[in-house]
Structure 1
């Protein structure tokens, strides 16, 4: 165990928290680690919505390059930011036990706007579509940056609230008292999970990281990302998915919305644990066959303009 495992990460507070969490778990197993922080394009360009940047995996690309060039050995990501297809030579080495999957609304202490007109901020097409589906009279504005930046922007603007992943705020103790759980909102595929990737030919690191893997989380995120991959085909779209395990049964909910939130396709399925391998794919195909395919064509056309 004399090799030092260099852990690549974005340099935001949340990303560094994730990297330090992995480092500690590896250290506890007797491995030596070093954290290497790099800034991604997604953190630098904050004046455009993510879908306008046209880059799949904008938050992961910089670290992918650093790994391929041998500058870091592994990388730690929020799994929901990772494209469903990894670059050649890079593999998923472990998925850590999942945290809270819920989206929350951080507000300014007054929720009267929920019964009238409001302005809500989010940089996510999925959150925007689901919000407009429930509150069609509201305005949704774009919000970019790391969680600290987004929390500050909420305070600095006349918005009524902003939508965040609960897990991110909880991990760095930023979750305020003024929030409500959006338990009606289907989360992003793999929301609340952290993934560690490594080079396919790096046996030492892959064997070390495999010891951190949480099997149940790995299975649930596999189903959700399979659903995403089958639906979107490389296109960003308002897609939510959540798989949970109880008594050896997997329950799955998947949604696809139009960009304006007016059109909604939802599917719910439950299967025995041992039948999980094609659950996400079958659920996605069912949605595509029942109007989802036409909607995806529309979404691609709109986003390519």
Structure 2
């Protein structure tokens, strides 16, 4: 092939696993590649909750800049970290086949769930925090930042009862405990479990290579979920969950938004033919806004702006 494709990635173990997966697929197709690891702002500032940093795309911005400065040719991301609006000049090219999308609780014992007693659960996610407090209002949720390995270590070092993780991330780097509790009631983040590869809009050679890695049904499902997120959020960080599952030419969609304290919940479930699912995410979000979601999102914006 005529050029070496430079693959930009964060330098955490999970990010490197994802980038190496893309690298192996490209090299299997005959392309020459090289990995270019970098640290994101989100990896460097660990003493504040993500939502307090007030930066959209905190894990992707560094790679966006590297792409636009022609220091790399592609960037590999956990798709749930990527803002719904990509920077000018950067385009989505491939969504790899999605892994399991749900969250799990890594814990020291589950006895606390059966007792009506206070407990402390750790997560850096507003969505996970709100859903946990909605189900367990007498529990306390503390902030947990860092890469997967760092967060697991913090759980061991602290007297928390458990911490919430994406199942896919733990599985990918072989750190999923056998007794982790599968949280089937928790609606995942839009595009959780999916890997996204972006490139420069003008780079036809690289785009042509990446298109071969795209998984159409994973792309369709994550597009629906991200359309739901985009229509609801308007650039605001909020506890929003969305999951689209495709079975037998039917899309089963579930979307939800919570108040920051988890006390208010507005959700929606839809089932449509795949051929009619093009605007499913947007339509579902508009219905949520009409059901009181617009007022709830405004309250969240007000609370977020007070933090900054």
CA distance in 2, matches of 1:115, 1:220: 38
Matches within 5 A, 1:117-196: 117-196=118-197
Corresponding residue of 1:12: 12
1:209 aligns with 2:197: no
The answer (yes or no) to whether the contact 2:109–2:161 under 8 Å persists in 1 is no
2:239/2:259 contact within 8 Å kept: yes
1:65 partner SS = helix
How far 1:42 moved relative to its partner?
0.1
Q: Tell me the matched-pair count.
A: 305
CA–CA distance in 1 between the matches of 2:20 and 2:115?
A: 42
> What is the aligned partner in structure 1 of residue 31 from structure 2?
31
The CA deviation at 1:49 is 0.5
SS in 2 for 1:245: strand
- Residue 225 of structure 1: aligned partner: 226
SS state of the match for residue 277, structure 2?
helix
Determine the C-alpha separation between the residues in 2 that align with 1:98 and 1:114: 33
TM-score by length of 2: 0.98
Q: Secondary structure at the match of 2:47?
A: coil
Structure 2 residue ranges without an equivalent (≥5):
none
Q: Which residue of 2 is the match for residue 283 of structure 1?
A: 284
User: Secondary structure of 2:229's partner?
Assistant: helix
Q: For residues 15-58 of structure 1, what are the alpha-carbon distances to aligned partners after superposition, in whole Å with 9 as ceiling and x for unaligned?
A: 00000000000000000000000000000000000111110000
* 8 A Cα contact 1:221 1:243, kept in partner: yes
SS in 2 for 1:187: coil
Q: Is the 8 A contact 2:121 2:142 kept in 1?
A: yes
CA distance in 2, matches of 1:178, 1:155: 15
CA distance in 2, matches of 1:298, 1:110: 34
Q: What TM-score, normalized by structure 1, do the two folds share? A: 0.99
Q: Find the aligned partners of 2:171 and 2:140 in 1 and give their Cα distance.
A: 27
Map residues 25-174 of structure 1 onto 2, 5 A cutoff. Answer: 25-116=25-116, 117-174=118-175
Measure, in 2, the Cα distance between the counterparts of 1:50 and 1:82: 14
Deviation at 1:176, TM superposition (A): 1.2
Q: CA deviation at 1:179?
A: 1.0
For the residues of structure 1 that align with 2:223 and 2:273, how far apart are their CA atoms? 15
Give structure 1 regions of 4+ aligned residues with deviation exceeding 4 angstroms: none
* SS of structure 1 residue aligned to 2:141: strand
Residues in 2 aligned to 1:91 and 1:213: alpha-carbon distance in whole angstroms: 13
> Which residue does 2:21 correspond to in 1?
21
SS in 2 for 1:243: strand
Question: RMSD across aligned C-alpha pairs, in angstroms?
Answer: 0.7
Pairwise CA distance, 1:177: 2.2
Pairwise CA distance, 1:178: 3.0
Displacement of 1:113 in angstroms is 4.1
- SS in structure 1 of the partner of residue 251 of structure 2: strand
How far is 1:275 from its partner? 1.1
| 1:253 pairs with 2:254 | yes
Distance 1:113 1:269, change over 3 A: closer
Displacement of 1:290 in angstroms is 0.8
